[in-house]
Amino acid sequence: MTPLGVGTESLWSGVVAGESGIRALDAFDVSPYRSRVAGEVPDFRPDDHLGLREVRAFARYLHLGVAAARLAWKDAGVSPGQIDSDRTGVCLGTAVGAMGRAADDGVTLFQKGLSRVHPMFPLQYPGTLPSEVAIALGLHGPAYSIGTACTAAADAIGLAFAQVRSGMMDVAIVGGSDAPIFPLLFGSFDRMGALSTWDGPPACASRPFSADRSGFVLSEGAGVLVIEAEEIARERGARVYAELSGFGATCDAHHHLAPDPEGTQGARAIRLALEHASLRPEDIDYVNAHGTGTPKNDSTETTIMKLVFGELAPRIPVSSSKSMLGHTIGASGAIELIISALAIYHGVVPPTINLGEQDPACDLDYVADGARRQTIGAALSTSFGFGSRNAALVLRAAAQ
């Protein structure tokens, strides 16, 4: 579920074509704010994916997340009896969760009284999404929710990966979901100076690595993948997009919001992921960057790439899918891992769009000239977030 549409096909075809999902925001009055754009999931109808009871009781991030999980599960093509549902878990990230719904319900409480608040308000707690996915799909393993800001999906994937690898689960539904476009949060990000103030065509508002980048574009979305132990995937003849092979996470312990400009811990997260995958820096053929379009992220991330890859850094293609999708916050790590897996599967490096004049502090190969056909043996996906967080995931081409 992304600003490029519902489903993986619309995401992949849009990303390869360098299309933007960013539009002028008209869901509420944006005249008080400097930012005027956002990325909403077009043509998303919650009742195509959930019962009306759930549509009414739950917040939009949950609608998006359950819908994405249903599509992922369908795509995985699991037939009854192929997997043990007792050993299949769910681990999903969300940073914002039901904050928007809770804010609205708070207004209703004070304006109209408790009787006008949906009786299921207690279900707006942060852990609802994974259990609703487990209920929807009939899965009886653990149902974890991870709330680590912009690294939430990457952390959720990494933690479930570790459990699958250690034999605690056979299969896991992993990823993240967020629906952060509501006035309280949009306005607060805007006041903080985090959002893009671009006043040209909305499709050009997300400008990672450009000299004139001014912030990220706030987007909603959900990305869900199915990971499973290799022997189970082989036995049931699953279509394998890529092998998830490494995860690393660290904390700068530096600042609530800003990354440590030295990039030491960001680089260490990537090195841990490479080590976990038994790979060397020179094995990485493509990096799907966090690439938000904020002044600090993109220069720090470039520094981190140089720390890890050294003199190889200028030769490794690095692209930001957020240039097309905006920042889906707690879903971004999963959506970008899906793009990285499809990049390996199809042998195509997706581009960065809207790279105008390149920032001298961002001097890598950002694939600004359109998608490239290229065999990718291994790919790295990075996520960095509020709270000094860093997470890295490594994928390899699946052995034939």
Sign of the Cα torsion 186, 187, 192, 198 reads: positive
63 is an active site residue: no
Antiparallel, parallel or unpaired: β 143-146 and 88-93: parallel
Q: Which of the ranges 116-124, 188-196, 273-281, 302-310 carries the binding residues for other proteins, by CB under 8 A?
A: 116-124
| Site pattern 310..349 for other proteins (x: CB under 8 A) | ----------------------------------------
Nearest 5°: CA angle at 384, between 253 and 209? 125
| Site pattern 235..274 for other proteins (x: CB under 8 A) | ----------------------------------------
Q: Pick one of 29, 79, 81, 119: the residue that binds other proteins (CB under 8 A).
A: 119
Q: Pick one of 24, 45, 48, 112: the residue that binds other proteins (CB under 8 A).
A: 112
Q: First vs last Cα of the chain: how many Å apart?
A: 30
Note whether 336 and 191 are within 8 A (CB). no
Q: How many residues bind other proteins (CB under 8 A)?
A: 15
362 is an active site residue: no
Tokens representing residue 172 in the block = 């896991």
Q: Which is nearer to other proteins, 121 or 345 (CB)?
A: 121
Distance, CA of 236 to CA of 233 (rounded, Å): 5
367 binds other proteins (CB under 8 A): no
Distance, CA of 55 to CA of 51 (rounded, Å): 6
* Closest-CA residue to 277 (of 301, 306, 243): 243
Q: Which of residues 34-63 bind other proteins (CB under 8 A)?
A: 51-53, 56-57
The DSSP symbol for 211 reads T
Helical residues (DSSP H) of 33-98, grouped into ranges = 52-57, 60-76
107 binds other proteins (CB under 8 A): no
251 is an active site residue: no
- 49, 63, 276, 290: the catalytic one is 290
Residues with a known catalytic role: 150, 290, 327
List residues binding other proteins (CB under 8 A).
51-53, 56-57, 110-116, 118-120
